[in-house]
C-alpha cells in the first residue's frame, strides 16, 4: 500500500483535511494524500507523477481562492510491504513561508433555527473530481497551475470559457467588460490583434478579478 505525505501551507492543509470527501487526511503530525488510483501503479515514479498531476489541479484551485502559488507539495512517499516494513522515497521541495491564518468557517443561522455552514474549501475536491472528466476545466487549471495569472493567461481562459458557454458567458459578466479585457490583452500576446487598442485599457487587477469570478461560476455550474 502506498502513502504519500504532503508539505506546504499548514493552515490550508489543516482546512483541506477536514473537508467532506477530502483526499487529504491528517495522521498524527503528517498530512497524507490518498487517491484511489494509487492502487493501479507499482513504481514510486508513477505514484509521484499521479500525485503531482493531482496537486497541480489542487494548487490551481487554491490559487483562485487564496492567491498563494504552489501552496501544497509532495514531501515523501512510502510503501508498506506485506511484512509491515516500509520503503521510503524522499522528494524534498523548497520550503513554503506561511504568512496567513486559518480560513474561516462561516455559520449562518436562519430565523427558523436552521444553520448553514460554509467551509473554506468545500468546493475544492468536487472541482478536482469534475476536472478529470471536463476538458475545458482541465485546460483552465493547467493555465494557472503554477500561479501564472497575467493578461496572456487571462485571455486564454476567457477564450476557453467562450468556446463552452458562448453568449451565455455574458450572464455572468457583462459583454462590455469581457470585450475590454480581451482588447486590453492583445498588446500582451503575439500575432495579429483582432481588436483595435482600447482608449481606456483594463487594469490587470480588474481583469484578474473578472476572470476569477467567471472560473468560479463555471466550476459552481459543473458541481451543482
For residues 158 and 211, the answer to whether their CB atoms sit within 8 Å is: yes
Looking at 29-68, which runs of residues are DSSP E strands?
30-33
Q: What is the pTM of this model?
A: 0.76
The cell for 87 is 520503503
Using a pLDDT cut of 90, give the percent of the chain over it.
43
Average pLDDT score, the chain: 83
For residues 189 and 183, the answer to whether their CB atoms sit within 8 Å is: no
115: pLDDT strictly greater than 70: no
Q: Residue range 17-22: average pLDDT? A: 89
Q: Which residue has the higher pLDDT, 118 or 163?
A: 163
> In the prediction, which pLDDT does 67 show?
84
The model's pLDDT over 81-98, given as tens digits with 9 standing for 90+, comes to 777 777 777 765 544 444
- Rounded to whole angstroms, the Cα distance separating 55 from 145 reads 9
The cell for 221 is 455550474
The cell for 179 is 470585450
Q: Which helix (H) or strand (E) is 88 found in, with range?
A: strand 86-90
The model's pLDDT over 42-55, given as tens digits with 9 standing for 90+, comes to 888 888 899 999 99
**What is the band of 123 on the pLDDT scale with cuts at 50, 70, 90?**
confident
The cell for 174 is 457583462
The cell for 187 is 498588446
Q: Please name the residue that has the C-alpha cell 477530502.
A: 22
Amino acid at each position: 500500500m502506498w502513502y504519500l505525505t504532503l508539505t506546504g501551507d499548514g493552515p490550508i492543509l489543516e482546512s483541506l483535511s477536514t473537508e467532506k470527501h477530502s483526499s487529504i487526511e491528517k495522521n498524527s503530525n503528517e498530512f497524507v494524500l490518498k487517491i484511489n488510483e494509487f492502487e493501479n501503479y507499482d513504481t514510486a515514479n508513477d505514484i509521484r507523477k499521479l500525485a503531482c498531476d493531482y496537486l497541480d489541479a489542487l494548487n490551481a484551485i487554491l490559487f483562485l481562492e487564496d492567491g498563494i502559488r504552489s501552496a501544497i507539495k509532495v514531501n515523501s512517499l512510502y510503501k508498506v510491504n506485506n511484512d509491515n516494513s516500509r520503503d521510503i522515497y524522499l522528494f524534498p521541495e523548497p520550503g513554503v513561508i506561511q504568512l496567513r491564518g486559518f480560513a474561516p468557517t462561516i455559520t449562518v443561522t436562519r430565523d427558523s433555527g436552521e444553520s448553514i455552514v460554509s467551509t473554506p474549501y468545500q468546493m475544492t475536491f468536487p472541482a478536482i473530481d469534475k476536472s478529470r472528466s471536463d476538458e475545458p476545466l482541465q485546460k483552465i487549471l493547467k493555465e494557472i497551475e503554477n500561479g501564472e495569472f497575467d493578461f496572456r493567461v487571462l485571455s486564454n481562459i476567457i477564450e476557453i470559457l467562450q468556446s463552452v458557454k458562448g453568449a451565455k458567458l455574458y450572464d455572468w459578466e457583462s459583454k462590455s467588460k469581457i470585450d475590454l479585457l480581451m482588447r486590453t490583452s492583445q498588446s500582451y500576446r503575439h500575432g495579429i490583434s483582432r481588436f483595435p487598442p482600447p482608449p481606456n485599457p483594463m487594469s490587470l487587477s480588474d481583469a484578474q478579478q473578472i476572470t476569477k469570478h467567471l472560473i468560479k461560476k463555471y466550476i459552481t455550474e459543473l458541481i451543482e
